[in-house]
Amino acid sequence: MGTSPSKKIKIKNEYEYESSEINSLKQQEWINIHQTVSKNTSNCYNSYYQKIEFEENNGEHFLFYWIDAMEKMGTVYLFGKVYDKRNKKFISCCVTVNNIMRNLFILPRKYLLNENGKETEQKVEIIDVLEEMENIRKKYQISSWRFKSVKRKYAFEEQDVPAETNYFKAVYSFKDRQLPSNISGKTFSRIFGTNTNALELLIIKRKLMGPCWIKVTNYNKSQRMISWCKTEIVVSSPKSINVCNKNDPEIIKEIPPFVIMSLNIKTVLNTKCNLNEIVIASAIIYPNVNIVDYITNPRQEHDQFTILRKLPDVPFPFGLKELLASSNKKVEIVQNEIALLNYLMAIIQKRDPDIIVGHNFIDFHLDILLHRMKSLGISNWSRIGRFRRTMWPNLQLGAGGMGESSIAEKSVTCGRLLCDTFYGAKEYLNSPNNGLTYLSKLLLNIKREEIEPEKTFKYFLTKNQLIHLIQHTEFDSFLSSAIMFKIQLLPLTNQLTGFAGNLWSKTLCGSLVDRNEFLLLHAFHGKKFICPDKYDYKKRQNNNWNKKKTTYSGGLVLEPKKGFYNKYILILDFNSLYPSIIQEYNICFTTVNCKDNNEDNEENNKLPEISNQFLEVGILPKLLKTLVQRRKQVKSIIKTCKDPKELISLDIRQKALKLTANSLYGYLGYNLSRFYAKPIAMLVTSKGREILQNTVDLAKKRSYDVIYGDTDSIMINTNTDDLNKVKNIGNEIKKAVNEKYKFLEIEIEGYYRKMLLLRKKNYAALIEKELNNKIEKIIEKKGAEVVRRDWCPLSINASDYILEQLFSDDSRENCKEKIYSYLRKLSENIRTNQYITEDYIINKTLSKNPEDYSDWNIQPHVLVALRLKAKGVGCHPGDTIQYVVCKDDQKKNLSERAYHPNEIKINNKLKIDYEWYLNEQILPLVLSLCEPIEEVNNNELSKSLGLNSSKYIYYQSNAFYNSNLEPTTFTFDINIPKEQKFKNVEKWNPICCHCNQKSEFVGIFREKDGNSQSSLKCPKCNKMMPYGSLAAQLHHAIKNHVKKFNNVSNCDNSHTHTKQLNVNIKGCINQSCNGNKTNEVYLGKSLFIQLEYYSYLFNVKKTGKSIEKEELAVFSALNNIVKRYIEKITREYVDQKSIT
């Protein structure tokens, strides 16, 4: 209809990916999907047969590939695969590791404490410590323990712990009681390792770096079945678990084949009981998956089955069985839900999958399965995992699948890895929507049909509809596995786990914290360091740790030189800036004092110094250097490798190395991490800001125009159309920067042919790439302004078209007319209902459970999510909620007029609010994109959309715009950036009552010496300004503006006094008078913007940082003062219907 962007220039968003080889696969093609495509999987593991000698009886050793583990009461259970020589295939195996011992490290005091806890002059002797520990043993009923003296190092946050000293190492059984973590005595100051669990000890001490081959020695056949594995082994010592040595002649390089099950279920909501019941379960089983290879074809060798149950009091449609038989579909029909669940558990036990795949499986499907099995008394429910259980975990409340699954729920599947493509997409893709429908289209170019859960029941009424529902369930199983293969979830997470040395199951769930924790545990334990104990996260949360966020400054973001650039823009980028800084300046726990200022308060924001006494390279720099060098080696191999499969495998490896290295800095600055190191994080970001600023200064000294910079990159306007000159400029700066550093490297990231720079982190640019001797033009969009998730498709299409015109080679005049014409056609098509509902969908992500929002009634997506949950649809944190804004004369609140697309389909009375979309979705984006373009008139843009331009024009007074009285366009949209909205307000400069100095109040926090501090603290004298003084000055400032608003305009040639505006802005309102106004009218709009500015200064919700309770009360009280004035003026909300 003339409104879609042309395809001469390709538009690329931040989250865009190449389509799969599966092109436009139709849903009906699923009928043939069970046919085997891959013919090479069945015999590709014959090389293993002679290498593994496994005997189920007692023996000296066997090789075991471990993939998962769990701990119960101090015993660790390893799950993995062994080769069954008798049946010539790999089978599941559980290895029980007994007799793992607690490892405590007791730090002796130098001098003995007396009864009052005071230090005496008596030195502590070995016998003193042993005697006190014997008393503790008896007190806590510990049967026995062993001691020895060891030397250990320490470099973390506890201030009274020496860098290196002698400890008493105590070893005792996990069968005995755990000592309190805060225990101390007269002869010792603390004990490390009291809460370290057996699984961590086994992984760290036996150096299990993720899934790998293990040589299990001195084993016995298990006498009791504690798992659902095909075979079970018991060892009496953790020393029987040994990672295979590379030089071992028995070493196996290949990973055994995995059995993968892609599982999907369909549910109906039982409204009487408010429970989700399972009606169909369908699964695809891939029996021989080599996860190391990149598998593009999800239709490789596989089996498929479906279980269909009968609904109570609803007979199956006549002819269903005959229709199923004729379609050659493997559908098992059962009479009730109990039979369905028993059959499913039997299939899982028989096929014994190593990995279960699903989309939103963890929080929805798993919880529903457990709910229903518990409710219906399914005895073998624990077969969903590999550990036999009788105790049920705590399940979600409600109908099932309505919230986040607990840790206990997730642990039920232990032994079978859960590969949830929702979690995978959330962790490794930058997609605006992680739903199955969206990802299928984005990644696979497959259009998936949505079936609303409340309509599932209706599909049981006819045989054709029921067959369609069965196919839909089967097809969703296929889509989950196809997405898994497409984004390389298994090989990528396998590599990440191998580098970090944690559990693969944790990596699959996107646990970045867990990966980095084990990476550092392995590194520091290997160098004989005592590591920080695990924190009690619940205690931290009770102590408001979860509310404390980093209060130090992040990366440097330069103020952009906004505008449109039609000459080459050069982009220079530092390779892995923060990891490189850690190496460059030898920043580590061992070289930076982390003990003095690791608390999150403003007094502890002094930058630490790197200690000169440590000449040895720190552990963190060594670790990162190893990761960086390994990645360089892999990338160098990639350049010469010609094998396509090997190339993809290498690419996954280098990507995993990059993710591992780059995530470490963020983990150190995360205040709930075990290795939290605020001083290190502060120092790294400080050096980063310094390096970027030095790079900018270097470029400016060479007379180059730096137009923008962000954290690790800068952009330079080269002012030339000659690409060779641009490359020479880049190489010149690159050489000058790199010769200053040993590890830091800046590279030429690329070139933009044209660029539209809007504001910080918001821009669009034209890239030219040579492909097959042709120049391909691609528009790259970055930042919230152009790729925000809550723009509807019509807004995105409009922005794409405008960008295409701006970046075209057409004249500015032609571009302008094309934009006006496009907008006229767009508004006409909108008002004449030419678009489908999907074109108006707005996406917004839940950051928490819908019930946890305090402002749920003003959040459109939250209200929609609450209605969905009431219908039995699960809505979890991270879910993208879709909604469309409709007309409703009775509901003025936007959130009340937001409806899910499915609600609109079933309710013909709901009509889309086209005017709202034109005003709030199309116009704001159009105005923002066209703002730097002089030829485009904002008034004309409004008129082109058929909007009353008078609603968007106001006259600016002298007080705001220095007598510039030209009309300026604005919108009521709340998304106008604060820099633009408050550009010309009168800044608030309160006077400190301590030093009588005036300073600008910039918001909740201000930057000082590279750190953030509360704005309540005077920047001159560093003392806190009291509330009373600030409140009085705020009242005075606001009253001055109100007084200004109430002033009338006087004429210099008559007695006319008015607040009216004349068409002749400077002339008198009295037409018979030739005089001029002596003062300008201060409009209500100007006053309201000023009050909005004051409110913004005290808005704690916008900070994203933690605030002390006392300061929070002051800011809230000041904000309430502003709100009272806003309420009096009654201009905060405008009824647009009253505007004509």
Q: How confident is the model at residue 970 (pLDDT cuts 50, 70, 90)?
A: very low
Sole residue written with tokens 């030419």 = 834
Crossing angle of helices 793-806 and 812-831, rounded to 10°: 160
**Confidence tier at 550 by pLDDT (50, 70, 90):** low
d(CA 1056, CA 1036): 29
Rounded Cα distance, 898 and 912, in Å: 10
Closest CA to 109 of 90, 96, 122, 98: 122
| Secondary element (H or E) of residue 12 | strand 10-12
535-780: CATH topology: Palm domain of DNA polymerase (3.90.1600)
The count of other CB atoms within 10 Å of the CB of residue 757 is 22
Long-range contacts of 911-915 (CB under 8 A, 24+ apart): 911/886, 911/887, 912/837, 912/840, 912/884, 912/885, 912/886, 912/887, 913/885, 913/886, 913/887, 914/830, 914/831, 914/833
403, two tokens: 């919230």
- C-alpha span between 341 and 361 (Å, rounded): 16
Q: Which residues make Cβ contacts (< 8 Å) with residue 1121, sequence separation at least 6?
A: 1031, 1034, 1035, 1038
Closest CA to 406 of 464, 447, 344, 362: 362
Distance CA 268, CA 879 (A): 21
1067 pLDDT exceeds 90?
no
Pairwise CA distance, residues 973 & 1057, whole Å: 34
Q: Hey, CA dihedral for 523, 526, 527, 528, is it positive or negative?
A: positive
Which one is predicted more confidently, 739 or 879? 739
User: Are residues 62 and 216 in contact, defined by beta-carbon separation less than 8 angstroms?
Assistant: yes
Is the four-CA dihedral 318, 321, 325, 331 of positive or negative sign? positive
Q: Which of residues 937 and 396 earns the better pLDDT score?
A: 937
Note whether 1091 and 1129 are within 8 A (CB). Answer: yes
**What are residue 278's DSSP bridge partners?**
267
Q: Say if strands 101-108 and 164-173 run parallel, antiparallel, or are unpaired.
A: antiparallel
Which CATH fold topology does 27-40+256-486 show?
A: Nucleotidyltransferase; domain 5 (3.30.420)
Q: What angle do CA 701, 707, 709 make, to 5 degrees?
A: 90
pLDDT digits (tens, 9 = 90+) for 273-285: 778 899 999 999 9
pLDDT bucket at 787, cuts 50 / 70 / 90: low
- 401 CA to centre of own chain: 21
Task: Please tell me the distance from the alpha carbon of residue 55 to that of residue 231, in angstroms, as a whole number.
Answer: 10
Name the β-bridge partners of 333.
308
Domain ranges (residues) in the chain: 27-40+256-486, 52-251, 535-780, 788-938, 951-1047+1082-1138
Question: Looking at residue 817, what DSSP letter applies?
Answer: H
Task: Give tens-digit pLDDT for 64-84.
Answer: 999 999 999 999 999 999 998
The string of DSSP letters for 78-126 reads: EEEEEEETTTTEEEEEEEEE---EEEEEEEE-SEEE-TTS-EEEEEPPH
CA–CA distance, 475 with 1015 (Å, rounded to integer): 57
Measure the CA–CA gap between 70 and 415, rounded to whole angstroms: 8
Structure-token pair, residue 359? 């989309």
The answer, yes or no, to whether residue 1138 has pLDDT greater than 50, is no
753-773 pLDDT tens trace:
999 998 888 899 999 887 667
The least confident of 204-208, 641-645, 825-829 is: 641-645
* Cα–Cα distance, 1042 to 522 (Å, whole number): 64
- Structure confidence at residue 20 as a pLDDT band (50, 70, 90): very low
Among the residue ranges 264-273, 787-796, 1074-1083, the one predicted with the least confidence is 1074-1083
Alpha-carbon distance 107 to 105, whole Å?
Answer: 6
Q: Would you say the C-alpha torsion 864, 866, 872, 876 has a positive or negative sign?
A: positive
Greater model confidence, 246 or 541? 246
- In this prediction, residue 272 carries a pLDDT of 79
What's the N-to-C CA distance of the chain in angstroms? 31
The Cα–Cα gap between 1099 and 150 comes to 54
For residue 949, count other CB atoms closer than 10 A to its CB.
17
User: pLDDT-based confidence at 18, cuts 50/70/90?
Assistant: very low
In this prediction, residues 605-612 reach a mean pLDDT of: 72
Judged against a pLDDT cut of 70, whether residue 745 lies above it is answered with yes
Burial classification of residue 864, based on how many CB atoms lie within 10 Å of its CB (0-12 exposed, 13-18 middle, 19 or more buried):
buried
> Which of 780-794, 812-826, 850-864 has the least mean pLDDT?
780-794
Closest CA to 470 of 352, 349, 347, 304: 304
In whole angstroms, give the CA distance from residue 795 to residue 786. 9
Mark 512-528 as b/e (b = at least 16 C-beta within 10 Å): bbbbbbbbbbbbbeeee
951-1047+1082-1138: CATH number: 1.10.3200.20
Q: How far apart are CA 547 and CA 534, in angstroms?
A: 19
Q: Which residue has the higher pLDDT, 543 or 515?
A: 515
Fold of 52-251: Alpha-Beta Plaits (3.30.70)
Element (H, E) at 759: strand 754-759
DSSP state of 969: E
Structure tokens at 553: 């400054």
What is the arrangement of strands in the sheet containing 146-153, beginning at the earlier edge strand?
146-153, 164-173, 101-108, 188-192
What residues are paired with 192 via a beta bridge?
A: 105
pLDDT, tens only, 33-64: 333 322 333 333 333 333 444 555 556 788 99
Q: At which residue do the structure tokens 């200053």 appear? A: 740
Which numeric CATH code is attached to 788-938? Answer: 1.10.132.60
Torsion of CA 1050, 1055, 1058, 1060, to 10 degrees: -90
Measured distance CA(15)–CA(765) in Å, rounded: 16
User: Which pLDDT belongs to residue 917?
Assistant: 94
From its phi and psi, is residue 510 left (phi > 0), alpha (psi between -120 and 50) or beta?
left
Asked whether residue 810 carries a pLDDT value surpassing 60, the answer given is yes
Half-sphere exposure of 250 (CA within 13 A, CB side): 16
Over the range 400-439, which residues count as b (16 or more CB within 10 Å of their CB) and which as e?
bbbbbbeeebbbbbbbbbbbbbbbbbbbbbebbbbbbbbb
- Measure Cα distances from 10 to 653, 767, 780, 811, 925 in Å: 30, 10, 9, 20, 20
Instruction: Kindly tell me if the per-residue pLDDT of 1136 is higher than 60.
Output: no
Tell which residue, 411, 365, 364, has the closest CA to residue 392.
411
- Helix 512-525 with 644-668: angle, nearest 10 deg: 80
Q: Are strands 303-309 and 331-334 parallel, antiparallel or unpaired?
A: parallel
Q: Using the 8-state DSSP alphabet, how is residue 704 labeled?
A: -
| Crossing angle (nearest 10°) for helices 489-500 and 644-668 | 50
Between CA 1052 and CA 772 the distance in angstroms is 73
The DSSP line for 188-257 is EEEEE-TT--HHHHHHHHTT--SSEEEEEEEEEE-SS--BSSSEEEEESSGGGEEEPPTT-TT---SPPP
**Token pair belonging to 350:** 């028989």
Please check whether residue 286 is in contact with residue 297, taking contact to mean a CB–CB distance below 8 angstroms.
no
In 10 A of CB 759, how many CB atoms? 18
E strands, 271-410, are 275-289, 303-309, 331-334, 355-358
How many C-beta atoms lie closer than 10 Å to residue 87's C-beta?
Answer: 9
Q: What was the pLDDT predicted at 1137? A: 39
pLDDT at 717: 96
At 888-899, the pLDDT tens digits run 877 778 888 999
Is 395 in a helix, a strand, or coil? coil
